[in-house]
Amino acid sequence: FSLVRVKSTWKSKLGKKINKDTVDCVSAAKSYESITDRGTSWTVVSPITFTYKVTETHGLLDPSNDTLLLGHITDPQQLEDIRKSNKPIRRFVVIDQEVFQIYGPKLTDYLEANNVVYKIMPLPTTEENKSMETALKILEDVNNFALDRRTEPIIAIGGGVCMDIVGLAASLYRRRTPYIRVPTTLLSYIDASVGAKTGVNFANCKNKLGAYIPPAAAFLDLSFIQSVPRRHISNGLAEMLKMALMKHRGLFELLEEHGCMLLDTKFQADNTLYGHDSIKAASQATRIAITTMLEELAPNLWEDDLNRLVDFGHLISPALEMKVLPTLLHGEAVNIDMSYMVYVSHESGLLTEEEKQRIISCMVGLELPVWHEEFTMELIQKSLQDRLKHSGGLVRMPLPVGLGQA
């Protein structure tokens, strides 16, 4: 049956030919009815389309830039109506507490300059408290704020952990409240900001509870990266290197040549030693990383296809990261996993000795660890067993075959 709307009510119409003049609207959904001697069964096929924007901008917290408040709206008429309206905009903001210490006054000034009715909730968003309790704490405050789930997206400002927790909380509130991601670390800028995953840790396992709900928008402003410690820049470069090794030789060569400069300048324009080159390399590297990440994620947001190149470095690292919390950052654990897999590739004849050495040297140049004493054969075997269990018994191990191919 096709499902058609006639005078505000939906009706089932048998067959494919519909006279469009006699109906208001034809749904993309279909229903199928099957009658046997055991009874009737109905099958519903209903495509759900998600639209979300990833926008790079400058001066996100400049009061004259309304991207943070209105950049997620795609309908020009709706945008115009809001701009003309006297009704104040309301926003609930969850921000990592360390980010709040640096940008709290600027954020408050921004919201007040734009006459926003707001609630800012600073939270410690670390891997140790990435839990359902934290998500419920957010939801309690969201509920007290009496948020309108259709017009008032929750804003998450922080690293990947912050965006994961807020995303899950938003997906639970009234079954799905839109949310906006504002990444403030390099890792979240090129990784968490562009996908649809949300989640919290559970039963001592990383992201065991979660949902695939993309944000309404992700707003990226590289200037946030300038206040990130050097180690955390390095941490983000690991995910960038992952995309380079899997998909883009040019990005690998850029990181190999300019990695140290990107660390020194923190992805900012630099007037001293490096001149104009630093911002050029920074915007090139982030753009390639985001584009290649989106290419892999967009057709497979729900991870139905298990052939996922973006899982490189994520086979053993989740167990390692949870085991040694909080000593390794996410990207550091991923890099240790990647360096091991580079050796696996070399042993399997997929990488030459020279390519292997170049990759390991690049990792060291990006100030990333390539080994950890807890990365044991026992941990590797257990992780691969778990992997088999979660992927229906299929062996799925993304490996580099040369530089920039997998």
| E runs forming strands in 72-203 | 90-96, 117-123, 154-158, 179-183, 197-202
Cis peptide before 369 (omega within 30 of 0): no
**Is residue 337 packed enough to be buried (19+ CB in 10 Å), middle (13-18) or exposed (0-12)?**
buried
* Whole-number Å distance between alpha carbons of 78 and 122: 30
Dist. CA 102–CA 95, nearest whole Å: 11
Rg (CA), the chain: 24
Name the β-bridge partners of 3.
12
Q: Residue 307: count other Cβ atoms within 10 Å of its Cβ.
A: 10
CB 252 within 8 A of CB 362: yes
CA distance 222 to 215: 19
Helices and strands per DSSP (H, E), number in the chain: 13, 12
Q: From the candidates 7, 16, 197, 389, which is the catalytic residue? A: 197
- Rounded to an integer, what distance in angstroms lies between the CA atom of residue 385 and that of residue 334? 18
- Cα 293 to chain center, whole Å? 10
Strand partners, 202: 205
DSSP string computed for 168-182:
HHHHHGGG---EEEE
Q: Are strands 25-36 and 39-45 parallel, antiparallel or unpaired?
A: antiparallel
The alpha carbon torsion through 62, 64, 68, 71 (nearest 10 deg) reads: -140
Helices (H), 151-226: 160-172, 186-190
Strand 179-183 to 90-96 pairing: unpaired
**Which structure tokens are listed for 402?**
């040369």
The answer to whether 3 touches 30, Cβ cutoff 8 Å, is yes
Q: In sequence order, which residues have a C-beta less than 8 Å from that of residue 94 and are 6 or more positions away?
A: 121, 123, 138, 154, 155, 156, 157, 158, 162, 165, 166, 169
Is-catalytic flag, 197? yes
Residues marked active site are found at 197
